[in-house]
Amino acid sequence: MESVQAIKQRFGIIGNDTGLNRAIEKAIRVAPTDISVLVTGESGVGKESLPKIIHQLSHRKHGKYIAVNCGAIPEGTIDSELFGHEKGAFTGATQTRSGYFEVADGGTIFLDEVGELPLTTQVRLLRVLENGEFIKVGSSKVIKTDVRIVAATNINMFDAIEKEKFREDLYYRLSTVEIHLPALRLRKDDIHLLFRKFASDFALKYKMPTVKLTDSAIALLLKFKWSGNIRQLRNVAEQISVLEHNRLITADILKQYLPEMGQNLPAVINTSKKESDFSNEREILYKVLFDMKSDLNDLKKLTMELMKSGNAQDVQKNNEGLIQKIYGEEESDTKEENQDVLAIPSHNEIERSEIEIIDNTQDKYHFAEEIEEEETLSLHDKELELIKKSLERHNGKRKLAAAELGISERTLYRKIKQFDL
């Protein structure tokens, strides 16, 4: 069995971090077996190196090694890519094609970004892991394959399982052994080593002297968070090697190549609204409409009392609280200055206007009462009617009814309890 140091030299891995060494040691130990392995870690930490180590140290090293980026293949064609298809299976399938699992029989398949696989493909992959069988797209013939699967992902698999984006049974089949690679910001002692290696490689590639960092630049390099990990560090090293005339790089020069420490960039603002935001806005709108309806009924009540009594002062005195509710505090503050604007009309004025129109005859007064009765149809009744109709249309399924009504299922459930449906 090769040592960790020998493996790092063989595969060009730079660094002495304990987390990195532990990951390589696990890869060495698991390589001779056929156990499925899941490599985890942030994007850019170098997860693609471990499947190569596992394949080269296994008894499958003479077989094919195929790396597949699951996130880069369109959902409509990924089944065909992995498992193959028969001629005429779909539009454009002019001939029979072998998939990766058929081609790599006896070898290793590395499924990078396995968390991006569609659920239908996950079912097919689970069958391969369980009994080594799969069916081509458009075929009914079962094909056997002997393939070792090493997968990698940068997402939190438990979150994906909870959100029903990844099958829990498939996760446990893939992660018989899980190997985690630490982020670059946690490997402080390796950052400068990696930069020097990249600077040396680019100097050789572009035929120019190697760039070097001052002590202050090294301190800044170690302080930086490196959200893009090794991939970002390599990118920075290449930019500096190509663009800088001065081969001695100071902290001020380095700072220009570190995005968070350079010039201020426009902030990305998420303008998308969640469903709960719209639900809150709707509830506020409902409240405003209900308040307006209540004020309108109060105003009609006050007008009717004035019409019946004919004494504006008595009506104003007896309904002081109601007038305050309708017109608010502003009415009391400006009553003396703008009495003509907000004053309740006198009985004589009403007689000259509304009474002339509505009259005191029984038929016409009955007509006024019909109007009032017709207008009292509240939003509460309308809302109740809409919810009932939607629930009936969808046979009581709250999720479908909520989608039709444009509200969240949680809000609909609250309305059902409120209206005792």
Q: Which amino acid is at 60?
A: R
pTM: 0.62
Burial of 62 (0-12, 13-18, 19+ CB in 10 A): exposed
- Token code pair at residue 334: 């400006």
Q: What is the mean pLDDT of the chain?
A: 82
pLDDT by residue (tens digit) across 84-99? 999 988 888 889 999 9
What band does 381 get if pLDDT is binned at 50, 70 and 90?
A: confident
Q: Say how many C-beta atoms besides its own lie within 10 A of residue 171's C-beta.
A: 21
pLDDT by residue (tens digit) across 280-307? 666 677 777 777 777 777 777 767 766 6
Backbone angles phi, psi at 73, to 5 degrees: -100, 130
R_g of the chain, CA atoms, integer Å: 37
142-144 and 65-69 strand pairing: unpaired
How far apart, in whole angstroms, are the C-alpha atoms of residue 283 and residue 398?
18
Position 315 scores a pLDDT of 61
Backbone angles phi, psi at 26, to 5 degrees: -65, -40
How far apart, in whole angstroms, are the C-alpha atoms of residue 35 and residue 50?
14
Q: Is the pLDDT of residue 159 over 70?
A: yes
C-alpha 407: how far from chain center: 20
* Domains of the chain, start order: 4-182 (3.40.50.300), 187-261 (1.10.8.60), 275-375 (no CATH), 379-419 (1.10.10)
C-alpha 353: how far from chain center: 62
Residue 108 · residue 54 · CB < 8 Å? yes
Sign of the C-alpha dihedral computed for residues 58, 64, 69 and 75 taken in this order: negative
Three-class SS state of 1 = coil
pLDDT by residue (tens digit) across 16-63? 999 999 999 999 999 999 999 999 999 999 999 999 999 999 999 999
What does 31-92 look like in DSSP terms, one character per residue? Answer: TTS---EEEE--TTS-TTHHHHHHHHTSTTTTS-EEEEEGGGS-TTTHHHHHH-B-TTSSTT
Cα–Cα–Cα angle for 107, 109, 115, rounded to 5 degrees: 160
24: Cβ contacts below 8 Å, ≥ 6 apart: 4, 7, 8, 13, 50, 53
Helices (H) and strands (E) in the chain, counts: 23, 9
Residue 116 · residue 78 · CB < 8 Å? no
What band does 378 get if pLDDT is binned at 50, 70 and 90?
A: low
What does 153-189 look like in DSSP terms, one character per residue? Answer: ESS-HHHHHHTTSS-HHHHHHHTSEEEEPPPGGG-HH
Cα–Cα–Cα angle for 58, 128, 153, rounded to 5 degrees: 70
pLDDT by residue (tens digit) across 351-373? 554 444 444 444 444 444 444 44
Position 59 scores a pLDDT of 95
65-69 and 37-40 strand pairing: unpaired
The residue assigned the tokens 């200055």 is 337
Residue 150 · residue 36 · CB < 8 Å? yes
Position 140 scores a pLDDT of 92
Contacts within 8 Å (CB) and 24+ apart, 349-357: 350/306, 350/307, 354/307, 355/307
How far apart, in whole angstroms, are the C-alpha atoms of residue 96 and residue 83?
11
Q: Say how many C-beta atoms besides its own lie within 10 A of residue 4's C-beta.
A: 17
The residue assigned the tokens 């080269």 is 56
Among the ranges given (6-20, 148-162, 327-341), the one the predictor scored with the smallest mean pLDDT: 327-341
Three-state SS sequence of 222-247: HHCCCCCHHHHHHHHHHHHHHHCCCC
Q: Is the pLDDT of residue 147 over 80?
A: yes
